[in-house]
Amino acid sequence: MPSAPQLGFLNTTSQGWSELRLLTTQTTAASVNLDGQGLTISQIVAAARYGAKVSLGFETNAEARAKIDAAVKCLNDKLDAGESLYGINTGFGGSADSRTNNPKALQLALLQHQQCGLLELPQTSSYSTPSGAAASLSLSEEKLSMPEAWVRAAIAVRLNSLVRGHSGVRVEVLRTMAALLEHNITPVVPLRGSISASGDLSPLSYIAGCLAGEDGIQVWIDGPDGARIKVPSSKGLAQYKLEPVRFHPKEALGILNGTAVSAGVGALVLHDAANLAMLTHITTAMAVEASTATDASFAAFIGEECRPHPGQIESASTIFGLLKGSKLATHLTDEGIHLLRDEDEGSLRQDRYPLRTASQFMGPLLEDILASWKSLNIELNSTTDNPLISVRENTIHHGGNFQASSVTTAVEKTRLALALFGKLTFAQATELINPAMNRGLNANLSATDPSLNFHCKGVDIALAAVTSELQFLGSPVSTYIQPAEMSNQAVNSLALISARYTVHSINALQQLLAWTLYLLCQALDLRALQRTLASQLSTQISNSISKHFSTWIEQPDQTDLSAKVFSRLQKRMDETSARDLEARLLESYQMAGFEIHKFFAGLPSGGGSDPLRNILSWRDESVQETKELYRKTTLEFLESPQACHASSLLGSTRPVYEFIRRTLGVGMHGIDNYHEFADVEAFGKRPTIGEGVSVILESLRNGDLFKVLFEEGVLLAK
């Protein structure tokens, strides 16, 4: 049989994480080399979000420097020869039928008409800070400007394109652009206004305006106390002794006419999306454990031999590997493929779809994200303006590399994948909350009586809310293209809009996964509690059978009968997990007592009336003993909420569970419910459920949780 195709998603994400850490760890920090050839998604993340240093490749490469200079000369020679060159001596877009003899002024005219974005008014404006009766609370706190990380990403991507020597932009301009990153000068760029057709014209005009030192362009810089302050760009440049740029022919157009903002935001999105894809595999494996489900659904034979899609194979292999060594999941090696018909009567023979088909569901999504990753890596190392200068051919080409559809398709595939990861996670999580589906866990994952503990009911509703939003965001943006700019841009990509909405999807999936991780840890603790109780309960039942029935039952029969009583009791306890403990125990012991009735009914004399009376006293006494056992053991768990009770039962998911319990300090829930809220003051001082989930969410946002995934052996690249 030919070998199965390899996708390499985990390798790609792991290598990306390693590169990011290399660029952002103080002891090993290297610079991001912008040479137009080797820029990666991880390098963009490092430069944009973590302030990694950047260097310009042409500073140490004479050939690259010569190519840039030659492109500038080629452009000037053709301009001096009187050639008609778009955007250099012609108008722009649908106005390209106009001509000018003032090419330098034309560059400023370009900036002027593109700097039309909406931004918050400077604090010096009399309209910016209403007070007294005129003051009101805003309908929305949404900013009109882009996050600084987006702008830094755009500058890095644009630089990497311009250094390729196809754009005719002088090295002096490129050095000033690089200085913005070096000194952490970030132009304030409007959030809206780009259709990503002729590139991201308007957003990039604010970066160009900053380089020119326009007072109408604001920038963020470090203030005297280290806090970020907003000042006019002329002041920001002056603070770091940077001379404002005076644009030569095509230079403003060279900066504006590209896909850098879309590609930059897209790169930031892809980095987080890939990490969330891997985290969804972790939560799926944890859900298998919490549901006491099987790893047999992820057997290599199913994918590698029967349906060899590379994404499905890698997804299944990842989950299967995570479950290795788990004492909660059942395993392919001991599942009992030859289980007899009567042995599992009344139970599902196979897991439900959210677990059993997880690799088939997620595999294609991995393929889509990886395809997007590869496409964006190409875009980051492309020249995307117009016109383009070929020094080798001594020709200026008029084309359309600014059309950002490659970015659009990349982020749209990614956003749909995020929506589907969310849908799968929602199904797995809500199955665990539901006592009709979770194989014996209390309703709402309560650790105590469900009549006074509705623990995850609010989480259940919140999951539905955020999943609905995520599904809405999964719809394409590109189908809403409108003709623009005198219908010259009758088709456009909407790449930046699509990338922006993919950021919303990232945020929504992060929240969904934070809630899910919270309830998974609770479910795993409840399984650990069940295992602890089962061990103690088995002994208790053996002792009670001996105490009440040793007169009539020999020791070997006692052992056999105890096992049958225990099995029937456990089954009925699992079936009644929506009810309070005492009611469950009473009904379960009544059912379990049937095994004792059956034993005596099988004796020649039936045992007489004494055993029957003893059955009733055995049941009543056992209910109380078991209730005390449950409450005592439950209290031990709840009084040590961060004790990582489930650690010894887990496979490779263990570090994630322990990170949440021990490092983040988000503990097992239920101590107030156990005491029936007797100490109201203590309840009022305890963190809310949402606070605990918020701590988990922050670890997703700042990357701490992903350090556990990629650096503590949870995910091992192959």
This prediction has a pTM of 0.94
Q: Is 86 a catalytic residue?
A: yes
The token pair that represents 381 in the structure block: 């190392």
Which pLDDT value is given to residue 343?
58
Which pLDDT value is given to residue 684?
85
- 68-102 per-position pLDDT tens digit: 999 999 999 999 999 999 999 999 989 988 999 99
Separation between Cα atoms, residue 108 and residue 115, nearest integer Å: 11
Which pLDDT value is given to residue 239?
96
Considering only residues 29 and 312, tell me which one the structure prediction assigns the higher pLDDT.
Answer: 312
Could you give the domains of the chain?
Answer: 11-119+135-260 (1.10.275.10), 267-335+352-524 (1.20.200.10), 551-639 (1.10.274)
Separation between Cα atoms, residue 592 and residue 570, nearest integer Å: 9
- 337-390 per-position pLDDT tens digit: 556 566 566 567 798 999 999 999 999 999 999 999 999 999 999 999 999 999
Considering only residues 545 and 497, tell me which one the structure prediction assigns the higher pLDDT.
Answer: 497
- 139-172 per-position pLDDT tens digit: 888 999 999 999 999 999 999 999 999 999 999 9
Q: Which residues contact 547 (CB under 8 A, 6 or more apart)?
A: none
- 696-717 per-position pLDDT tens digit: 999 999 999 999 999 887 886 5
DSSP state string for 345-363? TTS-SS--HHHHTHHHHHH
Q: Which residues contact 714 (CB under 8 A, 6 or more apart)?
A: 282, 322, 652, 653, 655, 656, 708
Separation between Cα atoms, residue 270 and residue 263, nearest integer Å: 10
The residue whose two tokens read 């809009």 is 497
Residue 45 · residue 268 · CB < 8 Å: yes
Is pLDDT of 610 > 90? no
Decide: helix, strand or coil at residue 221: strand
Is pLDDT of 474 > 90? yes
CA distances from 692 to 452, 495, 515, 683, 703 (A): 20, 36, 9, 15, 17
pLDDT band at 245 (very low <50, low <70, confident <90, very high): very high
Which pLDDT value is given to residue 658?
98
- When mean pLDDT is compared over 124-138, 360-374, 540-554, the highest value belongs to 360-374
Angle at 406 between CA 9 and CA 425, to 5 degrees: 45
Considering only residues 322 and 490, tell me which one the structure prediction assigns the higher pLDDT.
Answer: 322
Q: Out of 86, 501, 518, 589, pick the active-site residue.
A: 86
Element (H, E) at 389: strand 388-390
Give the mean pLDDT of 236-263. 97
Give the mean pLDDT of 461-482. 96
Give the mean pLDDT of 641-645. 96
Helix H, strand E, coil C: the string for 535-566 is HHHHHHHHHHHHHHHCCCCCHHHHHHHHHHHH
For the chain, how far is it from start to end, CA to CA, in angstroms? 21
Which pLDDT value is given to residue 4?
64
Angle at 329 between CA 369 and CA 6, to 5 degrees: 30
Burial bucket for residue 675 (CB in 10 Å: 0-12, 13-18, 19+): middle
